[in-house]
Amino acid sequence: MYKKTFHGGVHPYDGKEFARDIPFQTWLPKGDLVFHLNQHIGKPAKPLVQKGDSVLAGQIIAEADGFVSANIISSVSGTVKAIEKRENVLGTTDLSIVVVNDGQYTLSEGVGTEVDPTTLTTQEILEKVKAAGIVGLGGAGFPTHVKLAPKDPAAIKYVIANGAECEPYITCDDQLMRNYADEIVGGLKIMLQLFPNAEGVVLIEENKPEAIAAVQKVCANENKIHVHPVHVKYPQGGERAIMDVVAGKHIKLGMLPADVGCVVDNVATVRAIYRAVAKTEPLMERGFTVSGDGVNKPCNLIVKIGTSFEEMLEAAGGFKDGEEPEKILCGGPMMGFAMPWLSAAVNKNNNALTVLKKDPVAEAEKQQTACLRCGRCGQVCPIGLVPQMMAAAAEKKDYARYEKKLYGLECIACGSCTFTCPAKRPLMQLFKQTKAEIMAAKRR
């Protein structure tokens, strides 16, 4: 019997009411499309086109350049304008392919061809997923064809579709489950073909009753697929929390979910698997939420990958009352990050633009004090770490203690410790910086 929740976690204001009941609308891009070559974990993709080339929607314009890498697919038809560095959501620049959209959306040959997945071999399924350029759409961006090919497929006991969507304000996965439950269950059935000893689980937080009902209806007659409603708690959608709830398993530093018999993918990724295998449709678009009290019309969109965030803001009617907000985030307020510009393009693993009138981080900085040693940060950590001690080691640059004694690299940067800290200390930001410095030293 699956559990309903995990150890630790917090209950932030979820902000779901802004967009949870707003149906999807399709947004067709107006400007150029920008395709960053490293919109996934692993080595950047290698361009297959040159300036001046004509491209079609669904065409591979950059190929995976390594074992952990992913193809980049043009989401429109048009002409390659440039291959140059362009701004990304992190405030730096990436080598990118810029395509001028001709507005015709002419499909590449073979895109849309229907296939019976049950007639395909394991290798054929994996090749279709790889060709489609699918990565983790929940934020991680890990190439999906790699995740679906563990060393021992027979050891996989659970294939989990993550529909928790616990990050505040974001509601596109909720809408995806309400409207495309058949394709999500179809994707899960395809994944189960790869793992003969596994059962499928669709995990959904209880604050999404419409999504739960929609998925339950579709899989009512499926013997190997179950819907598992779980308590509303952040970060319920984290891989570690999910494995704890469904499989009762914990992974150690350096381990992958497959090492404890689990494969976990976001519901958007699972749907993309279905579209790639059954419809021969590569990853060209995704669900996207624009929300917050700083926009006029919060919305859920189906957006072409490569569209600018400026257009996402336009789709939501611009800033509320025409006033510049204090905080603009790529993602949500817990695990998202402040955007230095809106000229950046939507990548495969970007699911939201959150616009807030007030900056809660700036307000917290005004109230910050020394550590009170209350221990609340340790009580809410879903990994069971001791953020108070980690912070002390990080501030002293005692990286050996941080990594070896306190297991600081296991931190998933969920922000629960920062959220609950009465001293308003920026713990997560400190841990992110410390991890970056340790990993940079290892690379050197």
pLDDT one digit per residue (tens) for the chain, 444 residues = 678 999 899 999 999 999 999 999 999 999 999 999 999 988 999 999 999 999 999 999 999 999 999 999 999 999 999 999 999 998 899 999 999 999 999 999 999 999 999 999 999 999 999 999 999 998 778 999 999 999 999 999 999 999 999 999 999 999 999 999 999 999 999 999 999 999 999 999 999 999 999 999 999 999 999 999 999 999 999 988 999 999 888 777 667 889 999 999 999 999 999 999 999 999 999 999 999 999 999 999 999 999 999 999 999 999 998 899 999 999 999 999 899 899 999 999 999 999 999 998 888 889 999 999 999 999 999 989 999 999 999 999 999 999 999 999 999 999 999 999 999 999 999 999 999 999 888 888
374 labelled binding-site residue:
yes
Strands 352-356 vs 327-330: parallel, antiparallel or unpaired: antiparallel
The rounded distance, in Å, linking the Cα atoms of 427 and 374 is 14
Whether the ω angle into residue 235 lies within 30 degrees of 0, i.e. cis, is yes
CA 307 to chain centre: 17
- In the chain, the domains with their CATH numbers are 1-28+106-358 (3.40.50.11540), 362-443 (no CATH)
Cβ–Cβ < 8 Å for 77, 57: yes
Helical ranges in 288-381 per DSSP H = 309-315, 360-367, 376-380
What local confidence, expressed as pLDDT, does residue 1 receive? 62
Q: Phi first, then psi: give them for residue 129, nearest 5 degrees.
A: -65, -40
* Strand order through the sheet with 33-36: 33-36, 93-101, 78-87, 54-55
414 labelled binding-site residue:
yes
- Read off the tokens for 55: 């491209």
Bridge partners, 285 (sequence order) = 304
The rounded distance, in Å, linking the Cα atoms of 389 and 411 is 13
Picking from 163, 172, 271, the residue whose alpha carbon sits closest to that of residue 226 is: 163
What local confidence, expressed as pLDDT, does residue 408 receive? 94
Cβ–Cβ < 8 Å for 353, 384: no
262 labelled binding-site residue:
no
Helical ranges in 89-208 per DSSP H = 122-131, 144-147, 172-179, 181-194
411 labelled binding-site residue:
yes
- Read off the tokens for 193: 């073909």
Cβ neighbour number for residue 414 with a 10 Å cutoff: 26
**Is the Cα dihedral 266, 132, 200, 148 positive or negative?**
negative
CA 206 to chain centre: 20
What local confidence, expressed as pLDDT, does residue 74 receive? 98
